[in-house]
Amino acid sequence: MTATASGTTDRFPDLARRAVSGLLLAVVVLGSVSNHYAFLVAVLAITMLSLWELAGLTARKGQPMVFPVAALAVACYLVLAEFGLQHRFEAVLLAGTLIASLAVALFGARQGYIARSAFTLFGVLYIGWLGSYFIALQTLPNVGAAYTIGCIVLIATTDIFAMLVGTTIGRTPLTPISPKKTWEGAIGGFVAASLAGAAFGLAPHIGISWSDGAIVGAATSIAAQAGDLVESALKRDARVKDAGTLLGGHGGILDRFDSYTLGGIVFYGAMYLTHHIPALH
């Protein structure tokens, strides 16, 4: 989800519309959190559309990933996560993905054979492996729904406040990868998410102290903004403004959920390191 921009006022309406579209999509996902299979379907739809858009970016680089192989592997990752089996069969899944991509890529042009296989494996890890942590989080006994909502809220808070602060007072460019993002916006998103995480301590059903919540919020915010920058780098490398056109002038699904790629796994890791959830096996 695009989070920050320069301080020019003429950018605010476009950024606000992007934030609203991202927020509406997040609300749809939140509505499915209470049901394991509804959430699995929602995440599966998001990951498949994101993978399709990523495949488009790789095609612009001249060597498209082997999409059928990548799509099957991503679906397997999510289904395995639903039953808590992704780490048990991860090595087999990745090995199978590599072998299948190498085999199928043989039927394409000789030039770019390695690139097609590498892009395929990258897509599975970037979309499937990272996305599986949302399923792993939601399927936790008793606390899964609450923790998943908390994760989504922290990432959305980062995106929204980074955009608002960056638009209103942002002056210092954050990185050449995404020139419209600013340090002021990044700090604004970080502070807002840290405070939101600390506020989780006020919700007894979440069962986390304010200090642990602040740590989790801070870590998740950094990861969410890093995820945004990674997707920006992918788009810049492919020389496109947006990863897709599914949302019209607001970009594609990957543009709206880029912050969630790294945000979910870091939230899970931070909750594990603060002893609130077990490690995956």
pLDDT, position 6: 42
CA distance 110 to 33: 45
User: Cα dist. 230→1, 166, 241, 250 in Å?
Assistant: 11, 19, 14, 18
pLDDT, position 29: 76
201 DSSP 8-state letter = G
pLDDT, position 38: 92
Q: Is 5 helix (H, G, I), strand (E, B) or coil?
A: coil
pLDDT, position 99: 94
Q: What is the pLDDT along the chain (281 residues), one digit of tens a residue?
A: 444 444 444 555 555 665 666 566 667 777 789 888 999 999 999 999 999 999 999 999 888 999 999 999 999 999 999 999 988 999 999 999 999 999 988 887 777 888 999 999 999 999 999 999 999 999 999 899 999 999 999 999 999 999 999 999 999 999 999 888 999 999 999 999 999 999 988 877 778 999 999 999 999 999 999 999 999 999 999 988 888 777 666 678 998 899 999 999 999 999 999 999 987 65
Neighbours of 103 (CB within 10 A): 12
Please provide the DSSP assignment of 61-85 as one string: TT----HHHHHHHHHHHHHHHHTT-
User: Cα dist. 215→28, 161, 207, 231, 260 in Å?
Assistant: 27, 18, 14, 25, 18
Tokens, residue 53: 């858009």
The pTM score is 0.89
